[in-house]
Chain A
Amino acid sequence: MGVTGRADWLDTDSLLAAGRAAGGEVTDRQLELWRYKGLMPRPVRAEGQGRWLYPPGSDRRLARLVTLRASIRSLELIRVVLWLDGFAVEIGEVREAIAETLRRLAEAVEPAGGEGSIEALASALAATRGRALLANGGMSREERTRAYALLIASAFGDPKELAARRDDEVLLTRLFGEGGSAASVIATGETPPLPLPRPAELAATVVEASDTELELARRVVRATVVWWPLMVSLAGRDRPEGSALSTLARETVEELPVDLLPLLVAGVLGALRSEPEAPERPTVAPPPRGEVRRAILEAGVAVVARHGFDGLTYRAVAQQAGTTHGAVGYHFNTREKLIHEVALEARRSAAAGASIVPAAADLDSFGADLARSADEDLDAHLFQYELSLQARRRPDLAREMQSLYEDYYDLTRQALEKVGIEDPDEDLVRFVFAAIDGLVIRQIVDDDPEATEAALAELRRMLGALGAGDGR
């Protein structure tokens, strides 16, 4: 790709050496697995040689992975920590990792009463034995539950709950040791208060968050659990004698109550959007299920058309459909599902296709509605184009789009037959539909319906020369 100078890029050997220096023997296989899982960056081949080169910073990243791996078994949580650290990780995968962790948490809480009581959440977290940091403290499950409850009460800033749990601070000391910076500062309740999220909405809050919101949440959480406690340490409260800043920073990061992170991210996201969400609650009874579903799907089409694919969030769709984001989550419990159903909706929306088949059999009516449709059904067209490009990256969408285009080829074939071209061959159908598609794209770009009309007149002349309309 013509990137000059890869002097500071690392070959596999020096990378693995960095892993060993961090205290772990990383095998080629392990490295490949982490690469495959997106936890390590992809290497590029050195020009003119067989060696693979990893981008600068990969050694730091591998060393971090080695230390994380020693205490956290879940790859999802490791991904979340890497993200929090600021390493480049695929944001969609982070979103899914957090959501998946929260879904499991919600499922664990649900039978215990549904409402997100601190006890329910704490006991669910304490039960995730072996996946989490607090599982290592040599405590009974009951003690772990109390430790988690204190951490949650602290992180989400509920003073009453916190006061009731003061006695349990000793548990945190046992876990993190005296002066354990991150956890102990969290436990003093000096962090900013956050709303305690409802378990059922936890995953949805994360799934529907835009990349920007997630990045903001990342910074807030990082500031809360890493930098802020570090500042407190540096201010001298419990700074160990002679410890260097970098050592302190590393220790702070290593002491993160890792399994609380997804919950914190959801809490911050909830706080970020709690204001605009409030007046949105419907005052009338919601319409019957079928209608809400339909309204949501139609809203999805409009949202993709206007804001692109990445704009397809629960919140944007809810706003467009005039419903709550809880309702969207109820009908489509994952973003994947919403996307899939919205794609199916594209096939059903006849607006974009209707303009292909002429109303009458004369050649003059061929494409007569196209310029108007490109204008009036702009959303439907844009939606389908966005989906087309997206289909390159998603095999499930590719299938839907393939069927959609087959429908269009059929419509084009019918249209050609109607104006008098007998048994139009595959090639002609493909050319004519491509021309129609291209004219719509051009009109999207330069908004010149008259030029579209003029080009269509030329298309009719061409079809006439090919035998349409009595060969005129």
Chain B
Amino acid sequence: MADRAEGGSEAPGRLALLDAAVHVVARDGLDGVSYRSVAEEAGTTAGLVFYHFGSRESLILEAAMRAGRRAVAHAIPVGDGGLDTFLDDLSGSAERDLSDHVFQYEMAFNSRRRPEVAERMAELYAFYGEETERALASLAPGEVTPALARLVFAAIDGLVLQQVVFDEPERTDGGVRALRRALRALFAESPS
């Protein structure tokens, strides 16, 4: 959905190349990204990749934005369903959007050695934080701080990372149960 909005001015080939870059990073890590590897993944020529993006850096950054937007569309508690629907589906989302998740972790872990990546990732995480805060506020109006949102999103991020690495969705579901329990206990105890 977020793709559509962006797609107006972009040829489909360009988006396919960005997706290919996300897959390459998910498979081979950030260092695996080259014009050639992305071209091979997309079934096109390295020249075309170069033509679209000019530099490897801008290819990576644009791919980061694309994966991020998609993650927002799929993996963030926005919309009518709210936090509950989102949490119900956390392990499913981790499985479906595996490449996007791996890509984002690669970017996150690379942010200390690439300032331009750090900036982009900090923005993305800030956005996740705000969306999480909004979703939490609908459960317990007036009691949700940015710090709580940071904590809850951190737990989500940690659970998804473990599932990405070990592929044990039932453990993600278990972690989600405990998160819910903890939130209920917290909100029940708060004087309101």
Q: Which residue of A lies closest to B173 (CB)?
A: A427
Binding site of B, secondary structure by majority: helix, strand, loop or mixed?
A: helix
- Which of A1, A308, A388, A462: most chain B Cβ within 10 A? A462
| Chain B: minimal CB distance from A416 (Å) | 11
| Chain B: minimal CB distance from A217 (Å) | 16
Instruction: Establish whether residues A444 and B162, one from each chain, have CB atoms under 8 Å apart when the complex forms.
Output: no
- Which residues from A are CB-within-8-Å of B154? 434-439, 441-442, 455
Instruction: Establish whether residues B30 and A308, one from each chain, have CB atoms under 8 Å apart when the complex forms.
Output: yes
Instruction: Establish whether residues B43 and A9, one from each chain, have CB atoms under 8 Å apart when the complex forms.
Output: yes
Instruction: Establish whether residues A1 and B121, one from each chain, have CB atoms under 8 Å apart when the complex forms.
Output: no
- In the complex, which of the residues B12, B118, B183 contacts A2, with contact meaning CB atoms closer than 8 Å? B12
B52 at the interface (CB under 8 A from A): no
Instruction: Establish whether residues B162 and A310, one from each chain, have CB atoms under 8 Å apart when the complex forms.
Output: no
| Chain B: minimal CB distance from A103 (Å) | 25
- Which residues from B are CB-within-8-Å of A70? none
Instruction: Establish whether residues B43 and A3, one from each chain, have CB atoms under 8 Å apart when the complex forms.
Output: yes
| Chain A: minimal CB distance from B66 (Å) | 12
A401 to B166, CA, bound (A): 9
- Which residues from A are CB-within-8-Å of B32? 310
Q: Which residue of B lies closest to A1 (CB)?
A: B19
A residues 372-398 near B (Cβ < 8 Å) are: 378, 382, 385-386, 388-393, 398
- Which residues from B are CB-within-8-Å of A462? 151, 182-183, 185-186
Number of A-B contacts (CB under 8 A): 190
Instruction: Establish whether residues A451 and B153, one from each chain, have CB atoms under 8 Å apart when the complex forms.
Output: no
Interface size class of B (residues with CB under 8 A): 35 or more
A388 to B36, CA, bound (A): 26
- Which residues from A are CB-within-8-Å of B75? none
- Which residues from A are CB-within-8-Å of B179? 431
Instruction: Establish whether residues B125 and A445, one from each chain, have CB atoms under 8 Å apart when the complex forms.
Output: yes
- In the complex, which of the residues B15, B20, B112, B175 contacts A444, with contact meaning CB atoms closer than 8 Å? B112
A41 at the interface (CB under 8 A from B): yes
- In the complex, which of the residues A311, A385, A430 contacts B109, with contact meaning CB atoms closer than 8 Å? A385
A309 at the interface (CB under 8 A from B): yes
Q: Which residue of B lies closest to A450 (CB)?
A: B147
- Which residues from A are CB-within-8-Å of B189? 464-465
Write the B42-70 contact mask toward A (1 if CB under 8 angstroms, else 0).
Answer: 11100000000000000000000000000
| Chain B: minimal CB distance from A129 (Å) | 36
A residues 423-472 near B (Cβ < 8 Å) are: 425-428, 430-439, 441-442, 444-447, 451-452, 454-459, 461-466
Instruction: Establish whether residues A389 and B121, one from each chain, have CB atoms under 8 Å apart when the complex forms.
Output: no
B96 at the interface (CB under 8 A from A): no
A4 to B106, CA, bound (A): 28
A residues 1-29 near B (Cβ < 8 Å) are: 1-4, 6, 9
- Which residues from A are CB-within-8-Å of B16? 1-4
A306 to B109, CA, bound (A): 10
A residues 360-418 near B (Cβ < 8 Å) are: 378, 382, 385-386, 388-393, 398, 401-402, 405
B-to-A contact residues, CB < 8 Å = 12-13, 15-16, 19-20, 23, 27, 29-32, 36, 40, 42-44, 102, 105-106, 108-113, 118, 121-122, 125-126, 145-148, 150-151, 153-159, 161-162, 164-166, 171, 174-179, 181-183, 185-186, 188-189
A-to-B contact residues, CB < 8 Å = 1-4, 6, 9, 41, 44, 55-56, 88, 211, 306-311, 378, 382, 385-386, 388-393, 398, 401-402, 405, 425-428, 430-439, 441-442, 444-447, 451-452, 454-459, 461-466
What 9 additional pairs, Cβ within 8 angstroms, besides A55-B40, A392-B164, A457-B147? A88-B36, A401-B166, A427-B178, A435-B154, A438-B159, A442-B154, A444-B108, A454-B147, A463-B182
Q: List 7 A-B contacts (CB under 8 A).
A: A308-B29, A391-B165, A398-B166, A427-B181, A438-B154, A458-B147, A462-B182
